[in-house]
Structure 1
Amino acid sequence: MSLILRVAARGDGVADDGRHAPLSAPGDTLTDAGEVVPGPHHQAPPCRHFPDCGGCQLQHLDDESYAGFVADRIAGALDAQGLSAPLRPTLLSPPRTRRRATLHAERGLLGFTAEASHRIVDMRECHILAPPLFALVAPLRALFQKLGLKRRADVHLALADQGPDILVTGFAPEGLAAAEAITAFCERHAVARLSLDDGLGPETRWEPQPVTITLSGIPVAFPPGGFLQATSQGEDALVAAVREAVGDARTVADLFAGLGTFALALPARVYAAEGARDAITALKSAAAMRARPIFTEHRDLFRRPLTVAELDRFDAIVLDPPRAGAREQAAALADCTVASIAYVSCNPSSFARDAKAMVAGGWRIDWIQPVGQFRWSTHVELAARFVR
């Protein structure tokens, strides 16, 4: 008999004798035969699709052990780079609050794929999606059957100010019958926008009002398939951490700015750089409408990161790179002399790699705020403050 001590990065429990056990929680007992005996932190998974559906990997963990898993992922990534930092208590988003997700459709099936597989798990219930998005699953399944969908398509769902926003990639039916079916579906289910993309870019088939997402009280045009934080609670947690990290800085550079999640939340003069043209155009327009002192630039920060001289013009830096991190930008950040840096990351491993370069340049990680907005998944986010 051995005791499960922690949950590893891919979701398996790790026992005190080194064995790994799927679907185990800290405090469970692992028998010599490999059977898991549930302990105090092992809960009954709420969804009938678990563990087949790949949308969740950790529904068997209670909130205490899941929050511990999120923090352990970050601490483990730092330790692998020879680093450590103060970790604040993990902030978890509640069930049924995900406002952005990508489902997959094919031959009458619609849902997430199975874990480590391309097989679609036909979704009949979901404990992570926001109710307005889950309410579209059955109607979308029926619509795709009516439109004759046979090959696989991806369905990108987001909850905008006006209601659900839908982008279907890999499928673009033509003809009057298809147009009438799409219009009737959107009217019946109060869809804010439906766009189709068969490889040549999104084509909007329904949008009675311009679709927006409100960030820090400011409506911003939301492009089809645009990025927003997975939950409003996660967004609030990350924005609060960034605002604290930059303090009373008068000038801030927001790198990988997206639609302006952080730029619009800062009471400062902001330079916002972003490689996606539709996102930075939307931010520029929103800032101009509200006379906000935000200067935007369409800039590929992987090919053309800000130089040390450019960075040193600001009091503070905010960056929120994609999963690959910001290796090229981190090299310049290591040598700059701004007062503080707020680094938001959706990948503890790439964050720790970049942090190592910055620490080698004389920076210190003041604190890290773990955020679990992809509830019951192994996907972890964080916000960190660096100071000299």
Structure 2
Amino acid sequence: MSLSPILRVAARGDGVTGDGRHIAFTAPGDLIDADGAITPGPHHRTPPCRHFPECGGCQLQHLDDESYAAFCVDRIASALDAQGLAAPIRAAALSPPDTRRRATLHAERGLLGFAVEGSHQLVDVRECHILAPELFALIAPLRSLFQRLGLKRRADVHLTLADQGPDILIRGWSPEGLAAAEALTGFCQANGVARLSLDDGLGPETRWEPQPVTITLGDVPVPLPPGAFLQATREGEAALVAAAREAVGAARTVADLFSGLGTFALALPAKVYAAEGARDAILSLKAAANARGRPVFADHRDLYRRPLTIAELNRFDAVVLDPPRAGARDQVEALAACTVGSIAYVSCNPASFARDAKLMVAAGWRIDWIQPVGQFRWSTHVELAARLSR
């Protein structure tokens, strides 16, 4: 009987044979017979979670670390190749299991968990191998709270592990009345919650926060707005920060574009101009930098509507760029023509990074190296940090 080996894992997580067949839940080295039966190979592992593959939180639990790291590298290489580019790609930095400090779950009709892959149906999570234990410990008590207070419509539950403990933001639900208030307070006290906020569509309303909630970035505690963006794991953040620091080198002045709360601005040994369109994030960064006397100028600026000009960019020795998934095409056009010495491009989307990098390369820049980061453990979501220079 003729057997076809799985050669690689495609962008959506399917294994690919030499003749181009895509086979779900296969790993490199698996053998596929003519009837589609799978003989597991050396890189195929038994998924640790009972909810895999139904739960949409993970797509690649059947891969060992070696093949998962190779998948991260291949995702970036494929995106570059699609734009006619190539670059040195380093070994992937993988976050361990049980380290996710930020996640969004969904609650509805007594269920609490992640959505089924490609569906709105919920998996009622009873175990999880990606969430930090402090966050997973909240799932059963939250489920009981929703059942007790009669949650009837779908709500989104944003969990973040802050310096003071778990921070919870629930969107789409805001129970009223004394009994509900007492239940919420009792839940927070019993479970060591640092903050609980509810948002019924008019913005977050904090119901519990015994002390101000912060997240330490670099060595600076930064006020953490409810639901604010944060790198998914401490390990992933450390890998991206180390790459950005290496990329800008000894630059004395740096522009940190799409700076968020200051993940990079507060970790750079330089004078930093930080631009961010989210008002609450930039105000938190400004307050934290001022409190510690850090040389960071925080500017509330929408870089999609008002990207930095070439003249503005030319004032800096280096730039850190960390845009949303869509990339930063308008800002990149100005970057391509500026005179800064180096650029650290941090991206959560290899495709938009490759598109933007093509513009840079066409203008005379080169991609010195790329550091893949797999902080969304066992998912097809790959991040990277790259150094560009002339």
TM bucket by the smaller chain? over 0.9
**Cα separation, 1, equivalents of 2:29 and 2:335:** 42
2:264 counterpart of 1:231: no
2:347 counterpart of 1:345: yes
Can you list the C-alpha shifts for 1:262-307, whole angstroms capped at 9, x where unaligned? 0000010000000000000000000000111100110000010001
2:212 aligned residue: 210
* Contact 1:162/1:211 (<8 A) preserved: yes
* Contact 1:21/1:36 (<8 A) preserved: no
Can you list the C-alpha shifts for 1:201-225, whole angstroms capped at 9, x where unaligned? 0000000000000011110000000
Corresponding residue SS for 1:296: strand
1:121-270 mapped onto 2 (5 Å cutoff): 121-270=123-272
Corresponding residue SS for 1:254: strand
AA paired with 1:355?
Answer: A
Corresponding residue SS for 1:334: helix
Shift of 1:17: 1.1
Q: Percent identity?
A: 78
Which of the residues 269, 278, 283 maps onto 1:276? 278
AA paired with 1:156?
Answer: H
1:105 aligned residue: 107
Shift of 1:226: 0.7
Shift of 1:38: 0.4
Shift of 1:37: 1.2
2:360 counterpart of 1:358: yes
Q: Runs of at least 4 residues of structure 1 off by over 3 A? A: none
1:40 aligned residue: 42
1:57-68 mapped onto 2 (5 Å cutoff): 57-68=59-70
**Cα separation, 2, equivalents of 1:243 and 1:45:** 36
Shift of 1:34: 1.2
1:21-32 mapped onto 2 (5 Å cutoff): 21-32=23-34
**Cα separation, 2, equivalents of 1:376 and 1:3:** 22
Structure 1 runs not aligned, ≥5 long: none
Shift of 1:331: 0.7
Can you list the C-alpha shifts for 1:251-272, whole angstroms capped at 9, x where unaligned? 0000000000000000100000
**Cα separation, 1, equivalents of 2:255 and 2:295:** 12
**Cα separation, 1, equivalents of 2:288 and 2:4:** 57
AA paired with 1:30?
Answer: I
**Cα separation, 2, equivalents of 1:267 and 1:362:** 28
**Cα separation, 2, equivalents of 1:175 and 1:335:** 59
**Cα separation, 1, equivalents of 2:357 and 2:148:** 51
TM-score after normalising by structure 1: 1.00
Can you list the C-alpha shifts for 1:155-204, whole angstroms capped at 9, x where unaligned? 00000000000000011111111100000000000000000001000000
Corresponding residue SS for 2:128: coil
Q: How many residues align?
A: 388
Can you list the C-alpha shifts for 1:78-104, whole angstroms capped at 9, x where unaligned? 000000100011110000000000000
Corresponding residue SS for 1:194: strand
**Cα separation, 2, equivalents of 1:179 and 1:264:** 38
Corresponding residue SS for 2:337: coil
2:334 aligned residue: 332
Structure 2 runs not aligned, ≥5 long: none
CA RMSD of aligned residues (A): 0.4
1:379 aligned residue: 381
